[in-house]
Chain A
C-alpha cells in the first residue's frame, strides 16, 4: 500500500509538469489555432530565468587570499557576492538561498514579453498557414532558442537548489499511520505539486470568472461572431499567448530544483506534452490537465520493478501505449470536442 501511495505521489509531481505545459499548449491551440512546438522551449527559458537570477545574485567581487593557492599555485581568488557585501552575510545568503522562489517574480514579465514577441514577431504570420507549416516554424524556433541558451549557459546542467528550509524530505507515512520511512517524499516535490494546482486553478478561474476570460472562451467557441460584435479578439488571443508562455515559464522556474536545468530540457518534455494534449483532447483545457496527471501516474507505476519485470520495456512505452488505446476508443481524446482539428 505504501509503495502504491509513493508512486501516486511521484506521478502527481511528474503529472504537474505535464499538465502545466499541456495547459499552455492547449490555451494557444484553443485560442489561436496554432500548434506550438516551441512551447517546450518556453518551459526551458523559464528554468533559465531562475539560473539567470541565481547568477545575478551571485555576482561577486574578487579578493586575493595569500594563504591559499589555486590550481596553478597563484594566490586563491575568493569571490564574495555583492549582495552579501551590501546587505550583510546573513541577509545576502538568505536572498541567494531563496533565488528560485524569487525567480517567479523575475520570470513573469520576461515570459510575458517573450510570449508577446514570439506571437507578434513570428507566429501571427502563420495563423492562416497549414498546421504542418506551423509545426515546422515553431520547431525551428525551439531549436534556435535552445542553441542560444546553450551558447550563453553551456551544455552542462546547472543546479538551482530550493531554499534550505524546503530541501530534503518529509516522512509522510508517519502522518497517516504508516511505519517510519514507509513514505518518504521530497518537500520541494510537494511544493511543486501545490504550485501546479494553484497555477491551474488560477488559469481556470481567470477564464471562468473574469470578463476577459469570458470573451476569450467565447472567441474559442466562435471567433467570427465575437469579432462581429466589435471585440478585438486577436488582441485578447495575443495576451492569452503571453499568459500561456508565462504558465510554461513558471512551470520551468519551479522545476529547476527537481532536476537541474539544461538547454535540452524543453525538448525532453515537448513530445510527451503533445501526447498529453492529444490524449486529453485537442483544445480541451480540463482534458489537458486530467491527461497530464493521469499519464504522470501511469508512467510512474510503469517504472516500478514489478511492472518492468512483468512487461520489459513498459516504462519506455507506457505513455504512447495509453495514447493508442485512448485514441482507438475515444478518437477525440478523453475530453475532446467535436469539430476540433477535424476539418
Chain B
C-alpha cells in the first residue's frame, strides 16, 4: 500500500502552477486578438448611428441620420468635403479614419431608454460598432452613455440638453457637443432682461421628467438672478396632450411671463394652447404678457407654426449662422437633401467628424486614446466659432444662440431668427457647479 503525503504547501504550489498554465493561453489570446472592444482588423471601421427612427421624434432622427451619412461620405472623400475644408484640425484627409474606409450601421432608439440600449448593444456586439452617435433625448443619452462605458466604446451624444448628461451622469467614454439647460438659462437671461425688463413674474410649466426639471432649475436660477420673481412652477405629465387646464390659471396667477419647459410634442401643444387662450394679447401687471420657450428646434418650430411668432428661446446652432463651418455644412446638406439641416443634425455631423479627427490625432481607435485626444481639444470651423471640449466633464463650450419666432418668414425654413449670439465665455461654468454636482467621470474603459 502506497502512502501519499498531501500537504497544504503542496496543494498551493500545484494550484498556482496549474492556474498559471490555464491562464496563459487566455492572456495571450486577449492581447493578440483585441486590445479594446471591436478593434478594427480589416480595411474598414464601423460606426453605430443610434437615432429615433420611429416614435414622436422620428423626423428629428431622420435628420440626424442624413447628417451622419453625409459625415461618412465626407470622411471617405466623397462629396464636396463639407466641414473637412473648414475644420481647424487638418488631421482628416478624406481617406476614411486611419486609412480605413468608414461604414455604418443604424439602430432605432424609439426615444425609449431600454430600446435605445438594446439597439446600441446590438450594434456593438453584432455589428462591431466602435463608436455610438445620435439620439434625441436626455434619458436615452444617459442610458446609452452608461452602456457604452460598460462596453468600452466611445459615445458621441446627439441632441441631449439635460444638465445631468455631463453632470451627475457623466462618463469617461461619453462626450456631448450639444449645449445644456444651464447654458440656455445663461444665454437667455440677459436678452430677457433687455427685452422684458428686470421686474417680471414668471410662471413655469415643466415637463415632469429629468430634462424638464433641470431646464426649470436653470431658467429659474438665471431669471431670479436678474430680479425676476417665480410665481409658480407646475409639473405637467410627459404624456399630456392637452394643456388647457394648466394654461387656464396662468392669467389669474399674477404672472406676466409664461415659461414653457417643454420639448417636442409637449412644446407644440402647450404653446398652441397658450396662444389659444390669448396670453400674448393680454396685459398683466401693466406689462405685455410674454411667453418663453427655452429650448427650440427647427422641427418643433415648424410644428408650432404661426404660434411661435415673437416667442424667445435658445438653440445650439442654426443654419442661418454666417461662420465658414456653418456655411460649408449647410451647402453640403442643402445641395444633397434640398433643405437646411436642423441643429440636431448639425451636432451629430460635428460629433462624427470630431470622433474621426480624434482617432487620427491619437493614431488609434482605442477609446482611451480617442478620449484623451478629445479632452481639452480646442477647435474651430464646425460652426459656432471657437469651441472647447472640456476634459473635466466632456462638455463642449461654444457660442449659444438666442432665437425668436420669425414674425415674417419668407419660406418654410426661416421660422426662427437669430436675436443674439451669446459668447462662449458667458455660458461657461465650473465643473463643480451645484447643478452639475454628483457623479464621477471615472476612468476610460477600453473594454475587451
A-facing residues in B290-319 (Cβ within 8 Å)? 299-300, 302-307, 319
B272 proximity list for chain A (CB < 8 A): 159, 258-260
Determine whether the beta carbon of A156 is less than 8 Å from that of B302.
yes
Instruction: From known contacts A76-B411, A258-B242, A260-B268, infer whether A7 and B248 are also in contact, taking CB-CB under 8 Å.
Output: yes
Interface string of B233-276 (1 = CB under 8 A from A): 01101010110111011011000000000000100110011001
A71-B334 contact, Cβ under 8 Å, with A10-B248, A186-B277, A258-B276: yes
Among B235, B252, B276, B410, the most chain A Cβ lie within 10 Å of the Cβ of B276
Residues of chain B lying within 8 A (CB to CB) of residue A186: 244, 276-278
Chain A residue nearest to B305 in the complex (CB): A159
What CA separation (Å) do A300 and B273 show in the bound complex? 14
Across-interface contacts of A95 in B (CB, < 8 A): none
Chain B residues near A259 (CB-CB < 8 A): 241-242, 269, 272-273
The answer to the question of B89 belonging to the interface, with a C-beta cut-off of 8 Å to chain A, is no
A8-65 CB contacts (< 8 Å) to partner B: 9-11, 13-14
Selected contact of A155 from candidates B58, B251, B269, CB within 8 Å: B58
Contacts of B319 in A (CB 8 A): 71
Q: Are B59 and A154 in contact (CB under 8 A)?
A: yes
Known contacts A186-B277, A259-B273, A262-B56; A72/B331 CB under 8 A = yes
Residue B330 CB within 8 A of the other chain: yes
Q: Taking the complex as formed, is A150 at the interface, i.e. its CB lies under 8 A from any CB of chain B?
A: yes
Contacts of B304 in A (CB 8 A): 159, 260
Contact between chains at B241 and A303 (CB < 8 Å): no
CB pair A6–B248 under 8 Å, yes or no, is yes
Q: Is the CB of A260 within 8 A of B269?
A: yes
B87 in the interface, Cβ–Cβ < 8 Å? no
Q: How far is the CA of A2 from the CA of B252 in the complex (A)?
A: 10
Confirm or deny: B55 has a beta carbon within 8 angstroms of a beta carbon on chain A: yes
- Whether the Cβ atoms of A169 and B278 lie closer than 8 Å is yes
List chain B residues, Cβ under 8 A from A264: 56, 265
Which residues of A lie under 8 Å from residue B242 when comparing CB positions? 14, 258-259
The SS class assigned to the A binding surface is mixed
- Pick from A70, A71, A72, A188: contact of B276, CB under 8 Å: A188
- Residues of chain B within 8 A (CB-CB) of A3 are 249, 252
Q: How far is the CB of B215 from chain A (nearest CB, A)?
A: 19
Chain B positions within 8 Å of A265 at CB level: 241
A158 close to B (CB within 8 Å): yes
Contact A169 B410 (CB under 8 A): no
**A residues contacting the other copy or chain, number (CB 8 A):** 49
CA distance A181 to B252 in the complex (A): 8
**Which residues from 213 to 239 on chain B have a C-beta closer than 8 Å to any C-beta of chain A?**
232, 234-235, 237, 239
Closest to B283 in A: A181
What mask results when residues 281 to 313 of chain A are scored 1 for a CB within 8 Å of chain B, else 0?
000000000000000000111011100100000
**In the complex, are the beta carbons of A184 and B268 less than 8 A apart?**
no
Contact A10 B305 (CB under 8 A): no
In the assembled complex, the Cα of A239 lies from the Cα of B252 at a distance in Å of 48
* In the complex, A133 has a CB within 8 A of chain B: no
User: In the complex, A13 Cα to B276 Cα: how many Å?
Assistant: 13
Q: What CA separation (Å) do A10 and B245 show in the bound complex?
A: 6
Is B430 positioned at the interface, with any CB of A under 8 Å from its CB? Answer: no
Interface residues of B in 144-198 (CB under 8 A from A): none
User: Residues of B within 8 Å of A, CB-based: how many?
Assistant: 48
Interface residue from B245, B281, B335 paired with A300 (Cβ < 8 Å): B245
CB atoms of A315 and B237 under 8 A apart: yes
Chain B residues whose CB sits within 8 angstroms of the CB of A80 once the complex forms? none
- Max chain A Cβ within 10 angstroms of own Cβ: one of B282, B331, B411: B411
A56 to B197, CA, bound (A): 45
Closest Cβ of chain A to B107, distance in Å, is 17
Contact of A305 among B234, B269, B277 (CB under 8 A): B234
Of B245, B248, B306, most A-chain CB atoms within 10 Å: B245
Docked pose: A156 CA to B304 CA in angstroms: 10
A174: interface (CB < 8 Å): no
Residues of B near A169 (CB, < 8 A) are: 276-278, 281
In angstroms, Cα B248 to Cα A11, docked, is 11
Chain A residues near B245 (CB-CB < 8 A): 7, 10-11, 14, 299-301, 303-304
Option from A157, A258, A300, A301 in Cβ contact (under 8 Å) with B303: A157
Q: Which of A11, A72, A188, A300 has the most CB of B within 10 A?
A: A72
Question: A72–B59 contact, CB under 8 A?
Answer: no
Q: Decide if A168 touches B278 in the complex (CB within 8 Å).
A: yes
Q: Which residue of A lies closest to B412 (CB)?
A: A79
Residues of the B chain whose Cβ atoms lie less than 8 Å from the Cβ of A181: 251-252, 282
B96 interfacial contact with A, CB 8 Å: no
Q: How far is the CB of B316 from chain A (nearest CB, A)?
A: 18
Docked pose: A256 CA to B269 CA in angstroms: 11
**Is the CB of A149 closer than 8 A to any CB of chain B?**
no
Given that A168-B278, A181-B252, A308-B234 are contacting pairs, would A71 and B340 also be in contact in the complex, using a CB cutoff of 8 Å? Answer: yes
B211 at interface by CB-CB < 8 Å: no
Asked if A167 and B276 sit within 8 Å, CB to CB, the answer is: yes
Residues of A within 8 A of B265 (CB): 157, 262, 264
The interface residues of chain A lying within 8 Å CB-to-CB of B241 are 259, 265, 268
A332 at the interface (CB under 8 A from B): no
User: Cβ of A260 and Cβ of B276 under 8 Å apart?
Assistant: no
For B57, give its contact among A70, A155, A167 (CB under 8 Å).
A155
Closest chain-A Cβ to B289's Cβ sits at a distance in Å of 10
- A225 at interface by CB-CB < 8 Å: no
Contact with A along B336-354 (1 / 0, CB 8 A): 0000100000000000000
Q: How far is the CB of B282 from chain A (nearest CB, A)?
A: 7
Please give me the residue from chain B that is nearest to A7 by CB atom.
B245
Q: Which residues of A sit under 8 angstroms from B303, Cβ to Cβ?
A: 156-159, 260
Docked-complex contact B251 and A161, CB < 8 angstroms: no
Nearest-neighbour CB distance to chain B for A302, whole angstroms, equals 8
Question: B278 touching A157 by the CB < 8 A rule?
Answer: no
Docked CA distance A184–B273 (Å): 12
- Closest A residue by C-beta to B270: A259
Contacts A6-B249, A185-B277, A316-B239 given; 20 further ones with Cβ under 8 A? A2-B252, A7-B245, A13-B244, A14-B242, A68-B410, A71-B319, A72-B335, A154-B58, A155-B57, A156-B302, A158-B303, A169-B277, A184-B277, A258-B244, A258-B272, A258-B273, A260-B269, A260-B304, A303-B245, A303-B246
Q: What are 29 A-B pairs at a CB distance below 8 A?
A: A9-B248, A10-B245, A14-B244, A71-B320, A71-B340, A72-B335, A154-B58, A156-B302, A156-B303, A157-B268, A159-B306, A159-B307, A161-B306, A167-B276, A169-B278, A182-B252, A186-B278, A189-B244, A260-B269, A260-B304, A260-B305, A262-B56, A262-B265, A264-B56, A300-B244, A304-B249, A305-B232, A308-B234, A316-B237
Chain A residues at the B interface, C-beta cutoff of 8 Å: 2-3, 6-7, 9-11, 13-14, 68, 70-72, 76-77, 150, 154-159, 161, 167-169, 181-182, 184-186, 188-189, 258-260, 262, 264-265, 268, 299-301, 303-305, 308, 315-316
The 5 A-B residue pairs whose C-beta atoms are closest, nearest first, are A159-B305, A169-B278, A155-B58, A186-B276, A303-B245
